[in-house]
Amino acid sequence: MAYVATRGGERAIEQSQRLFKEEMGPITPERVAEVRRALPYLIDRVMGEASLYDEDLAALALAQTGGESYEAILLLRAWRTTQPRLAVAEPVTQETLFTHRRISAAFKDIPGGQLLGPTLDYAHRILATEVLEGDTHVPAAVTPADTPAPAQQPSVAAWQAANGLLTAPEADQTLGNAIPDVTREPLLFPAKRAHTLQSLARAETGGVLALGYAAQRGYGQAHPTVNELRLAEAEIVVKHPRGTQFSAGRVKVSQAEVVSKQGRELGLGFSATLGWNEVKVIAAATLDLNAKGAPKGAATEEEFFLYHTEGVESSGFCIHFKLPHYVTFQSSLDAMRDARSTAAAKDKQPEPAE
C-alpha cells in the first residue's frame, strides 16, 4: 500500500476561499464591533480556548471565519505567536477577584453569602419570536440594591480548611517564567500540575464537557458537587521599570472547585479559564477531581482528557482527513485478483466422473 503523490487544484483552492469569503460579505469595523457587543459569551469562549485575551481580536477572528469557532481559535493562536511576551503578571488569587457571581451548591451558608450574578440558570427558555415580527425585545432593567456587594469574597475552601474539612494547600513559591508553560515546553506524562491546569484552561469546551459529563454520570470515581463557582474580573498586576507594581487592567475569568468525600476529608477538583465559561470550568474541575488513580484509557485519565480536549490539535486532526489521502492498495488488489482468478479457474474445471 502506498500514497499517490498528486498536484494541481491551485485555482480551485483560491476560488474556494473566495467563495467562502464572498458568501460572508465585507468585514467592516462596524461588523466586528457588533460581534463584540452582541456575543460576549462567544467572545469569552474563543479567548479562553485561544489562550489570548483581547475582545477586539476575538471578534475579528469570529467575523473573519463566519463564527467557525475552530478556525477563529486557530487564527488567534497563530496571531499570538507573532507577539513578544513582555512580562509575566503576578499570580491571580481567588480572594482578590472582583466578583460578579459566586455560588456554592455544597454549602448553603458560605461566608460572604451567595450571589447569583448574571445567569440564565433559572430562566424560562422562551424564544423572543416577537423580534422576528418587527418588535424590539427590551429586557427588564435590574433594580440595583442600595448598598453594593463586597468587591472581593472570601474563599469557601479556606473556610472549610479552617473547619477541618480539608487540608489547605501550601503556597506555591514558583513565579514568573519559572511556572511550567505548555506553550514553551512539551506536555509529558505524568503531567506537571501547572501543565494540566493550563491545558484545561485552553481546552475545547465541548470536549471537556463530554468527558466531564461522562465522569459526572458515573464513569468516573467521584461524584462532584460545586464547592464554589465564580465569574469575576482579575487584575493584571505588572511591574513598572522603576519597580512599582500596578494593574494594567482587568480581564474576565471563571473559576470552579468541585468537591467530593475522599476518606476522612473532602477532596477538591479545580479549574479556571480566561473569560466567563462556567460549564467548561465545572466539567474541567470534575476531570481534575477524578484524575488521580484513573485507569489507563478511561475518560478521566489525565493523558486521555488532556490530549483529546486540545481543540486546535483535535480539530486539525479531524480536518486533515479531508485532504487528499489517495492510496493505492496495489498488493491488496493483486491478492484479490489472484484469489478471483484461482476461484474462476477452479469453477471451469470439469467435475470428476463418478
Partner 1 sequence: MTQCIGTAPDHNHEHMLSVLARADATRLKTFVEPLIADLGDIEVRENRTGLVMLPMRDTAQGTHFHLGEVLVSEAHITAAGCEGYGMRRGRDLEAAMAMAIVDLCAAMGLHRDVCADFVAAEATTQADDDHETLRRVEATRVDMETF
Residues 115-144 that bind partner 1 (CB under 8 A): 115-118, 142-144
Q: Are 48 and 280 in contact (CB under 8 A)?
A: yes
If you search the block for the grid coordinates 463530554, which residue do you land on? 210
Residue 154 binds to partner 1 (criterion: CB under 8 A): no
Q: CB of residue 7 vs partner 1: minimum separation in angstroms?
A: 39
Considering only residues 272 through 291, tell me which ones interact with partner 1, judged by CB under 8 A: 272-274, 288
| Number of residues near partner 1 (by CB under 8 A) | 91
Distance CA 287, CA 258 (A): 10
In the set 64, 65, 69, 198, which binds partner 1 (CB under 8 A)? 198
Q: CB of residue 282 vs partner 1: minimum separation in angstroms?
A: 14
Q: CB of residue 316 vs partner 1: minimum separation in angstroms?
A: 19
Question: Checking DSSP bridges between strand 327-328 and strand 225-239, what pairing results, if any?
Answer: unpaired
User: Could you tell me if residue 117 is left (phi over 0), alpha (psi between -120 and 50 degrees) or otherwise beta?
Assistant: left
Other Cβ atoms less than 10 A from the Cβ of 348: the count is 6
In the set 171, 343, 345, 353, which binds partner 1 (CB under 8 A)? 171
Of 108 and 296, CB closest to partner 1: 108
Residue 91 binds to partner 1 (criterion: CB under 8 A): yes
Closest CA to 155 of 63, 255, 48, 234: 255
In the set 61, 63, 157, 284, which binds partner 1 (CB under 8 A)? 157
Distance CA 154, CA 200 (A): 24
In the set 46, 51, 278, 302, which binds partner 1 (CB under 8 A)? 51
- Contact letters for partner 1, residues 245-264 (x by CB under 8 A): xxxxxxx-x-x-x-------
Distance CA 88, CA 150 (A): 28
If you search the block for the grid coordinates 462532584, which residue do you land on? 224
Residue 194 binds to partner 1 (criterion: CB under 8 A): yes
Q: How does DSSP assign 267-303, residue by residue?
A: EEEEEEEESS-HHHHHHHHHHHHHHTTPPTT-TTSHH
In the set 32, 42, 43, 52, which binds partner 1 (CB under 8 A)? 52
Segment (H or E) for 22: helix 10-24
Considering only residues 92 through 111, tell me which ones interact with partner 1, judged by CB under 8 A: 92-94, 98-101, 108
